[in-house]
Amino acid sequence: MTNAARPDDDPLIKGWCPGALRPMLSGDGLVVRVRPFGGRLRRAQVDGLASLAAAHGNGMVDLSSRGNLQLRGVREDSFGALIEGLRGLSLLDANAEVEGRRNILITPFWTAGDETEYLSAALGDALAKDNAPDLPVKFGFAVDTGDRPVLQSASADIRLERDAQGGLILRPDGAAQGKQVDVETAVAEAMQLAHWFAAHRGEHKRMAKLLASGQLLPDGFTQPMQKQTYQPAPGLSEQGVLTGLAFGQLTAQTLAGLAKHGALRMTPWRMVLIEGAEQMPELPDLVATQDDPLLQVAACTGAPGCPQALIETRPLARALARQLQPDQTLHVSGCAKGCAHPKPAALTITGTAQGLSLIHNGRASDEPAQTGHSPHSILKAI
């Protein structure tokens, strides 16, 4: 497999996400995505995943924008043993179809026995049933039922969250109002809304796109949403310590080190919450302070790890991070797909066959302000 660009520079869009039971082949081997149940890994599971990543992959682990962990560089002849290891850690779904439906983001700020813990488990059970709706592969849910919303900027199509009075509402992504529900009815109502989407979506694959097309919601979605003010940053919380991961990636050794400090709760912010911890661990790969410029940077795997990437992204991203203003965001993308940051960034660098393109306030696929840069010249251009 090579990194040669196609003549039109158009990246291949596969249209699906890897799982554990349905891995994806990349430039560095198989990518095996593990979806923690309840958005949480027990310490023994964290330690076990670290061992499996080192034994069957290249020792690199990614945290995805949906709070999942991806083991990279898995060898095909070792995949079966890896699956058995994941089964022993209770980290597998019944089959690939159930795994593909269980796209659930969960706020990390919950306490044992509260509504969030119950609702996320009940929603996972509902999506595992034979009568679960037939949904597009990237369609997802968010259980954002802490005291305040924290997941509204993350990717999800059906959201359980709080209104301004603290009541529980079901809100379709793209709508400013939700439907009043309670703990007993929330999951059934979420499934009913998912079935409604499946029946009305036409060619649309995401809820917000369907609503933007003019499709009217069923009756009952009249309760105003509570708007998110939370900005994720490393530091202490009531539940433990939130620590950043440079580019959302860490080594198996660092993952094993985290296991010594507590269970892990996943987030979509390139951060993990170390449950019960009272201070920031001193481990490689961690972003421990709120003023670290790496928090302002998104960068995909890049070459040679991704066969579609036309540049090495992360060395360039580290160099550029030092030049950013405090309010600037930077996205370095190996190709025009922009997987690491689908939304606009203040500065975007896209790898092309003709060199690096510089895009202002846009996505990796947008029209560039400048093209043909080398890694040296792009440092001066920004």
Is residue 341 in a domain?
yes
The pLDDT of 216-229, averaged and rounded, is 96
Residues 42 and 87 in one domain: yes
Is residue 18 in a domain?
no
Provide the CATH number for the domain around residue 356: 3.30.413.10
Segments forming the whole domain that contains residue 327 = 293-379
Residue that terminates a domain, selected from 179, 201, 224:
224
Six-digit token string for 331: 């996205």
CB atoms under 10 Å from CB of 80, counted, come to: 10
Residues 138 and 194 in one domain: yes
Residues 168 and 239 in one domain: no
pLDDT at 14: 53
Residues 213 and 114 in one domain: yes
Q: Angle at the Cα of 20 (from 15 to 22), degrees rounded to 5?
A: 45
Is residue 102 in a domain?
no
Is residue 4 in a domain?
no
Is residue 5 in a domain?
no
Residue range 108-147, pLDDT digits in tens:
999 999 999 999 999 999 999 999 999 999 999 999 999 9
Residue that terminates a domain, selected from 197, 224, 251:
224
Six-digit token string for 85: 């290891």
Residue range 293-302, pLDDT digits in tens:
999 999 999 9
Residues 316 and 375 in one domain: yes
**Centroid of chain to Cα 184:** 28
Six-digit token string for 287: 């972003």
Intra-chain end-to-end CA distance of the chain, in Å: 33
Angstrom distance (rounded) from CA 58 to CA 70: 11
Write the DSSP string, 154-219. S--SEEEEEBTTS-EEEEETT-SEEEE--TTTHHHHHHHHHHHHHHH-TT--SHHHHHHTTPPPPT
Confidence of residue 257 (pLDDT cuts 50, 70, 90): very high
Cβ distance 64 to 72 under 8 Å?
Answer: no
Residue 49 predicted with pLDDT over 70 = yes
Is residue 247 in a domain?
yes
Residues 179 and 118 in one domain: yes
Residue 304 predicted with pLDDT over 50 = yes
Residues 123 and 191 in one domain: yes
Residue range 173-203, pLDDT digits in tens:
999 999 999 999 999 999 999 999 999 999 9
For the chain, percent of residues with pLDDT exceeding 70 = 96
Look over the chain and give the mean of its residue pLDDT values, rounded to a whole number: 93
For the chain, percent of residues with pLDDT exceeding 90 = 90
Q: Count the domains in the chain.
A: 3
Residues 127 and 219 in one domain: yes
Residue 13 predicted with pLDDT over 90 = no
